[in-house]
Amino acid sequence: MNIAQENEKIQQEMREVARKLLKEKTVDVIIGYSQGTLPLTSSPRFIRKEEEVEELIWNNSCYINLAKYLVPFPTKMVEGKPVKLKVGIISKGCTARAVFLLALERKVDMEDIKIIGISCNGILDRARIKKEMGIAEITDVAVKDNTIYVKSNDTEVELPFQEYLSELCKTCKIKAPPISNSTSQYIVGESQPTTPLEYSFDDLTDYETKPPEEKYEFLKDALKNCIRCYACREICPMCYCNYCFVDQNLPVWFGKTTELADIIIFHMNRALHLAGRCVACGACQNACPMGINLNFINRKLEEIVKRRFNYISGLDLEAIPPMMTYDMNDDQEFMLGEEE
């Protein structure tokens, strides 16, 4: 089955599950995807009626992690008081992982949520495709068979699908919502077991071999074009604070300028806040207007957490994230003078 056929199958099955949930009044609203206003984009779609189900779509530009729209949790007013809605949410693997993490952090109640599972076949690397087209304005993008057809006003370019996938999608092991004893009751549609899964961080090998000076130069080069628009923060499902540390005036944690030093500190701080919490959805990089490789930073933190705590985020509702707990036997080799 080629990619275009897979997309059609995913879309049809997703709509059938959504229609059934609405018909049986299991949920009040379904959060899914609709066609974006620009090529290579999609938009979130909230539907409440069976006849609206046909407006739900799936394609390889559905990069938004829909878990973002669960905080604050959707409500309706009943006799002047807000009442939580029952929500169905279209979920690829990374979306479901974010939902489970939000439940662990007590931002959502799983009793109010149905995970409508789909098996994601990959999200396109928007920045790379735009770079391939240069200054030409992209007017249309379509996936047919296993080829991406990108049109501009002057030309049409054919690109191999697998080559122009997001780098995170190429290494992703969790395509559908992870199912376990703690999550199975909340999932309808596609799912996948979490064991056995073999995790590889071979994509970090080249970086790991660099001396510290070259690592820093790598980071500077990667982040130098950041314009501090905060699109990465705004689209991240795990960035839900009402008042971000970046925006605080007292105390001032660091400068708010576009000087490279301030840019680096912002991204390093944000990455540390996501340690053991990032679900590798890639939404931040896809939202970045400058095409910055933000995934790389979070990927490195993911590797550290896996190595140090043997933890992968959002696989079930029982494993407590390492930043929410501690063990007296945790490695502390980073502590200076520990053996003194």
Considering the domain boundaries, does residue 45 fall inside one? yes
Considering the domain boundaries, does residue 244 fall inside one? yes
Considering the domain boundaries, does residue 338 fall inside one? no
- Mean pLDDT (the chain) is 91
pLDDT of res. 338 = 47
Considering the domain boundaries, does residue 331 fall inside one? no
| pTM reported for the whole predicted model | 0.92
Considering the domain boundaries, does residue 340 fall inside one? no
Which residue in this structure is represented by tokens 């929410």?
A: 324
Q: Which pLDDT band holds residue 335 (cuts at 50, 70, 90)?
A: low
Contact indicator for 122, 58 with CB cutoff of 8 Å:
no
Considering the domain boundaries, does residue 330 fall inside one? no
Q: Is the pLDDT of residue 333 over 90?
A: no
Considering the domain boundaries, does residue 233 fall inside one? yes
pLDDT tens sequence across 210-260: 999 999 999 999 999 999 999 999 999 999 998 888 888 877 777 888 899
168-172 long-range contacts, Cβ below 8 Å, gap at least 24?
168/280, 168/281, 168/282, 168/295, 168/299, 169/120, 169/122, 169/123, 169/282, 170/122, 171/200, 171/203, 172/93, 172/94, 172/120, 172/280
Question: What residue numbers bound the domain in which 34 lies?
Answer: 3-324
CA dist 252 and 19 (Å) reads 49
**How many domains does the chain fold into?**
1
State the SS3 of 296-334: HHHHHHHHHHHHHHCCCCCCCCCCCCHHHCCCCCCCCCC
Percent of the chain predicted with pLDDT > 70 = 97
Is the backbone peptide bond immediately before 193 cis, with ω within 30 degrees of 0? Answer: no
Q: Which tokens is 91 given?
A: 């979920």
Considering the domain boundaries, does residue 94 fall inside one? yes
